[in-house]
């Protein structure tokens, strides 16, 4: 599969009469977005606001972040199985409004939702302080069940991102990146002397607002399978979970998975990037055994020399992470795991809920229990009502002056296992 990503660099966002991109500025028609979102009978009201890097703005509680993209050439469309038909994506050309994002927020769905600060110390921990954000503040109808509200908020974000992404359809990109994965036999023949590396991509699937979707299917219903890396870039994987804000993979994280990008960067030079194996994180032991067995089997089937394994969430999924690692290592395949830590505020506690001597190559996203003080902001998009309740917050986290003292797990993307710093996890 060969995919061209045409990056249209967004340097500002403003409201306008027409939704368009002009000279690096994204103009958004606010009423068009409202009308689109209000087609859903589950939503009582929605407001649209803008947040820019460097502004004294706080967005909370954050549910998801999505990058606007549009399919220009090739089969299918962005977010297949949800917004567009279930067609295999990952080929052709896709235009990206690089630097722009749609952020869904508003009344809390589940306690594991987060905060984005556009300036100050909190901004240093989240990639979304650097994006130009179109924020949807969503109010559900009275009596709506939590999972129905999550679904409505998720669809609102995807619809808005798809609508805004179309503004880049006929815009000349500032940069075009090309990503290609050949068939297994072709790839091995092309780089016979390079180590064959795969990426084991663990998806949060514990249910109860901890869900991820693949081509529109709840991933807890799947068995591990193989994807072309470029399918992920076209929105084949979507977030539907409220796992702690610091380590959840938003839809934006999936679209811009930095492990995939880094492996492509080293492909043909230091390693042979064979492909992606997606697997789920289950609740019951039998399901964990099944998925880890299949994951190890697929690694062996592909003839891998090494695998990078990334996790989403913490606690219960630590078991899936270690089971995958142990079984893949038992097949004679070297592994590197990418995870964050919950090591207590002093950093002295066991950082993972499970461990194994074979898991001896680790890239850490940091300690989510570290305490941070977030200064007050002049503007709040959303509401501060839930500051003391969200994961990482506690009674008294919100101070009278609007400042917040909490663990950094309240910050969206703070210790994310995918991260957005360069990951050099390919020394096997």
Q: Is 246 a catalytic residue?
A: no
Sheet containing 2-9: give its strands across: 69-73, 92-98, 2-9, 175-180
CA distance 78 to 176: 18
**What is the maximum span of the chain, computed from C-alpha positions, in angstroms?**
65
* Residues 245, 392 contacting (CB under 8 angstroms): yes
The predicted-structure confidence for 95-127, as pLDDT tens digits, reads as follows 999 999 999 999 988 778 899 999 999 999 999
Query: For residue 84, what are the contacts with CB-CB under 8 A and spacing of at least 6?
Result: 71, 76, 77, 78
In the numeric block, which tokens belong to residue 299?
A: 């690694």
What domain count does the chain have? 1
Produce one character per residue of 68-98: b if its CB has 16 or more CB atoms within 10 Å, e if not. Answer: bbbbbebebbbbbbbbbeeebbbbbbbbbbb
Residues of the chain with pLDDT under 50: 421-428
- Show the domain range for 122: 2-178+185-427
Q: What pLDDT sits at residue 427?
A: 42
Distance (Å) of CA 33 to CA 46, 134, 159, 252 = 9, 10, 9, 19
The predicted-structure confidence for 156-171, as pLDDT tens digits, reads as follows 999 999 999 999 999 9
Q: What pLDDT sits at residue 420?
A: 52
Q: Which of 105, 135, 242, 246 is catalytic?
A: 242
Please state the φ and ψ torsions of residue 222, each to the nearest 5 degrees. -100, 165
């Amino acid at each position: 599969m060969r995919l061209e990503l045409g990056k249209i660099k967004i340097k500002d966002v403003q409201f306008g009469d027409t939704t368009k991109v002009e000279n690096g500025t994204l103009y958004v028609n606010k009423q068009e977005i409202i009308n689109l979102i209000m087609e859903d009978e589950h939503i009582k009201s929605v407001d649209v606001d803008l947040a820019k890097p460097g502004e004294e703005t706080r967005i909370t509680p954050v549910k998801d972040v999505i990058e606007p993209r549009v399919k220009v050439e090739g089969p299918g469309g962005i977010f297949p199985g949800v917004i567009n038909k279930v067609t295999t994506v990952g080929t052709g050309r896709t235009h990206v409004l690089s630097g722009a994002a749609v952020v869904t927020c508003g009344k809390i769905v589940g306690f594991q939702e987060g905060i984005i600060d556009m300036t100050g110390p909190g901004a240093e921990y989240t990639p979304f302080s650097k994006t130009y954000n179109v924020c949807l503040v969503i109010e559900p109808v009275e009596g709506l069940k939590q999972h129905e509200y999550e679904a409505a908020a998720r669809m609102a974000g995807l619809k808005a991102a798809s609508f805004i992404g179309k503004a880049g359809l006929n815009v000349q990109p500032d940069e075009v990146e090309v990503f290609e994965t050949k068939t297994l036999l072709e790839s091995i023949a092309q780089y016979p002397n390079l180590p064959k590396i795969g990426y084991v991509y663990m998806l949060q699937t514990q249910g109860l607002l901890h869900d991820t979707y693949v081509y529109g299917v709840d991933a807890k219903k799947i068995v591990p399978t193989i994807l072309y890396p470029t399918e992920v870039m076209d929105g084949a994987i979507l977030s539907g979970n409220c796992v702690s804000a610091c380590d959840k993979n938003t839809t934006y994280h999936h679209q811009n998975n930095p492990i995939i990008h880094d492996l492509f960067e080293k492909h043909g030079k230091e390693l042979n990037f064979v492909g992606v194996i997606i697997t789920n994180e289950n609740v019951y032991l039998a399901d964990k055994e099944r998925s880890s067995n299949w994951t190890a089997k697929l690694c062996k089937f592909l003839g891998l020399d090494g695998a990078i394994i990334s996790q989403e969430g913490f606690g219960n999924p630590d078991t899936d992470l270690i089971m995958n690692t142990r079984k893949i290592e038992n097949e004679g395949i070297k592994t590197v795991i990418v995870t964050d830590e919950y090591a207590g505020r002093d950093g002295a506690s066991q950082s993972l809920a499970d461990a194994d001597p074979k898991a001896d190559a680790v890239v850490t996203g940091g300690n989510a229990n570290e305490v941070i003080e977030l200064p007050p902001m002049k503007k709040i998009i959303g509401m501060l009502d839930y500051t003391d309740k969200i994961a990482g917050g506690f009674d008294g986290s919100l101070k009278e002056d609007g400042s917040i003292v909490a663990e950094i797990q309240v910050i969206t993307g703070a210790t994310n296992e995918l991260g957005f710093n360069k990951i050099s996890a390919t020394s096997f």
